[in-house]
């Protein structure tokens, strides 16, 4: 098969790496790719949001399957445009991708499907949102436990968690007046702030059959202890002990299944990856957000653990025969991904810093260094983004996986490189607390 992976991040490197292992692959491209994907496939200099360029390339090269990594080309309708020229693509249609492309659309769908989520109000402008906050919290020093969200796509950064009234007003100003997130802030949501551990559960679906993947836990905040601003994700691990077998079934039955069925009833059938970002509250799991693609960095530890042929799963999803394939086989060992970022991220940062130690890290057992913000310049790998590497490792248990990952992290260097030091510590704390309670 001739396969094209669309995107340039760590998720796309992981997808290309895993797809390249299939004996059925005869040619593999990544558009536009990065320095890491060049190790697994042939990079093509076409931007992920260049829909016409991607369709033209797929036609010219007689591509059999396009695997769309990031959310932007999905919300722009890449899958629909490929279908018009009879090229199969893994990912949802433009209509179904609204689940991620618009938080207002998502909230309305969740309400219709009777899926548990935070209470919310939607606003079309900053003035009305500010009036709502001032009416609900009349005193300047009032606590305001709310979350302000830009409606559209904002690379994981358009969510601002607030504790006080002035923080909420400032968040509204940033989203709706200063337009920090561009067109994504043309509408916004104010919702109640949920409490509890977070978890990610991803499911692959062809619109009829749902294949739920092992649980994972992302780390959105920039700094240790979940401090600092939200990022695109500073690390993840799989599986997470906070999602028990019983809870896993509840998430399938009460969240994933009704969502897929409601999308089908609304004539927006969902095919691809449905990513549920969940808050595990005392009242049960509630949806924080849906993504319509593999999470980044959750994809990296998940695919590190996958032992089955990923291409078989993707193709069965596209062809509507997910119920006909064998269940995937997973490495029982946990995997951890640690994101190594550029100095200044998630704010301003510099590109072009040479990266050393990649070969040393790659030689370590049970380790794979996935590239995200990298490119090749005269044969040297240099930084080309805020999140630069996703250093991923397996281990006999979580502590062993963490040791393997951070040993590899220490091997790679460039000026200003940094990472969180506590990826997976939430699991250790949860297991310790559970042991004490029992």
Interval 149-163 mean pLDDT: 89
Would you say 195 and 351 are in contact if contact means Cβ atoms under 8 Å apart?
A: no
Model confidence at 155: pLDDT above 70:
yes
Residue 430's pLDDT is: 86
Using pLDDT thresholds of 50, 70 and 90, give the confidence band for residue 230. Answer: confident
The average pLDDT across 137-158 equals: 90
- Res. 188: pLDDT tops 70: yes
Angle made by CA atoms 306, 309, 315, in degrees to the nearest 5:
120
Q: What is the pLDDT of residue 431?
A: 83
pLDDT at 438: 61
Nearest to 288 by CA among 119, 424, 137: 119
Contact 118, 191 (CB under 8 A): yes
Q: Give the per-residue pLDDT at 140.
A: 84
Q: State the pTM of this model.
A: 0.95
Cα–Cα distances (Å) from 43 to 13, 65, 299, in that order, read: 11, 16, 20
Residue 436 has pLDDT above 80, yes or no: no
For residue 192, what pLDDT is reported? 95
Is the pLDDT assigned to residue 212 strictly greater than 90? yes
For tokens 């460039």, what's the residue?
414
Using CA of residue 221, residue 203, residue 77, residue 102, what is the dihedral sign? Answer: negative
State yes or no: pLDDT of 156 exceeds 80: no
**What residue ranges do the domains of the chain occupy?**
2-94, 125-186, 198-431
The CATH fold assigned to 2-94 is Rossmann fold (3.40.50)
Q: At residue 122, does pLDDT exceed 70?
A: yes
Whether 243 has a pLDDT exceeding 80, the answer reads yes
Confidence label for 434 from pLDDT (cuts 50, 70 and 90)? confident
Task: Tell me the percentage of the chain whose pLDDT exceeds 70.
Answer: 100
Q: What is the mean pLDDT of residues 321-340?
A: 97
DSSP per position, 318-353:
HTT-GGGSPPPPB-SS-EEEEEEE-TTTTS------
* 3-class state of residue 265 by DSSP: helix
| Among the ranges given (79-93, 130-144, 379-393), the one the predictor scored with the smallest mean pLDDT | 130-144
pLDDT of amino acid 141: 85
Dihedral over Cα of 186, 191, 197, 202: its sign: negative
**Per-residue pLDDT at 22 exceeds 70:** yes
Cα–Cα distance between 8 and 330 in angstroms, integer?
26
Is 435's pLDDT higher than 90?
no
In degrees to the nearest 10, what's the CA dihedral of 345, 351, 354, 355? 30
Mean pLDDT of all residues in 116-128: 96
Q: What is the mean pLDDT of the chain?
A: 96
Least confident of 32-36, 125-129, 154-158, 352-356: 154-158
d(CA 128, CA 175): 13
Write down the H helix ranges in 178-273.
Answer: 245-251, 257-265
The pLDDT assigned to 57 comes to 98
For residue 87, is pLDDT > 70? yes
Contact at 8 Å (CB) between 66 and 58? yes
> pLDDT of 390-420, one tens digit each?
999 999 999 999 999 999 999 999 999 999 9
Superfamily classification of domain 198-431:
ATP-grasp fold, B domain (3.30.470.20)
């Amino acid at each position: 098969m001739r396969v094209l992976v669309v995107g340039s991040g760590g998720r796309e490197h992981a997808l290309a790496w895993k797809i390249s292992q299939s004996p059925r692959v005869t040619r593999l491209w990544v558009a536009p790719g990065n320095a890491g994907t060049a190790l697994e496939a042939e990079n093509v200099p076409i931007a992920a949001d260049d829909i016409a360029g991607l369709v033209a390339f797929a036609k010219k090269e007689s591509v059999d399957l396009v695997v769309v990594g990031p959310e932007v080309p999905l919300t722009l309708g890449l899958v629909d445009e490929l279908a018009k020229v009879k090229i199969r693509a893994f990912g949802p249609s433009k209509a179904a991708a609204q689940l991620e492309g618009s938080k207002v659309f998502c909230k309305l769908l969740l309400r219709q499907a009777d899926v548990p989520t935070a209470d919310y109000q939607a606003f079309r402008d900053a003035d009305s949102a500010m009036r709502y906050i001032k009416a609900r919290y009349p005193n300047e020093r009032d606590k305001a436990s709310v979350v302000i969200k830009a409606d559209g796509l904002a690379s994981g950064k358009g969510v601002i968690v607030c504790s006080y009234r002035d923080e909420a007003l400032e968040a509204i100003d940033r989203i709706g007046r200063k337009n920090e997130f561009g067109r994504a802030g043309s509408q916004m949501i104010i919702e109640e702030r949920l409490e509890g551990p977070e978890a990610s559960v991803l499911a692959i679906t062809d619109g009829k059959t749902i294949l739920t993947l092992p649980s994972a836990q992302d780390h959105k905040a920039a700094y240790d202890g979940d401090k600092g601003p939200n990022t695109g994700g500073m690390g993840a691990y799989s599986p997470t002990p906070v999602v028990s077998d019983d809870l896993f079934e509840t998430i399938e039955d009460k969240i994933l299944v009704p969502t897929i069925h409601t999308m089908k009833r609304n004539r927006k059938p969902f095919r691809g990856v449905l990513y549920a970002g969940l808050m595990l509250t005392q009242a049960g799991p509630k949806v924080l957000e849906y993504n319509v693609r593999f999470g980044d960095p959750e994809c990296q530890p998940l695919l590190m653990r996958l032992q089955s042929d990923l291409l078989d799963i993707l193709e069965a999803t596209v062809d509507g025969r997910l119920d006909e394939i064998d269940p995937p086989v997973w490495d029982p060992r946990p995997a951890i991904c640690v994101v190594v970022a550029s100095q200044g991220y998630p704010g301003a940062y510099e590109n072009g810093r040479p990266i050393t130690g990649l070969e040393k890290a790659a030689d370590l057992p049970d380790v794979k260094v996935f590239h995200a913000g990298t490119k090749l310049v005269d044969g040297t790998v240099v930084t080309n983004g805020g999140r630069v590497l996703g250093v991923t490792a397996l281990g006999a248990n979580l502590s062993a996986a963490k040791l393997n990952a951070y040993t590899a992290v220490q091997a790679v260097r460039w000026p200003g490189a940094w990472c969180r030091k506590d990826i997976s510590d939430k699991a250790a704390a949860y297991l310790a607390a559970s042991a004490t309670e029992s």
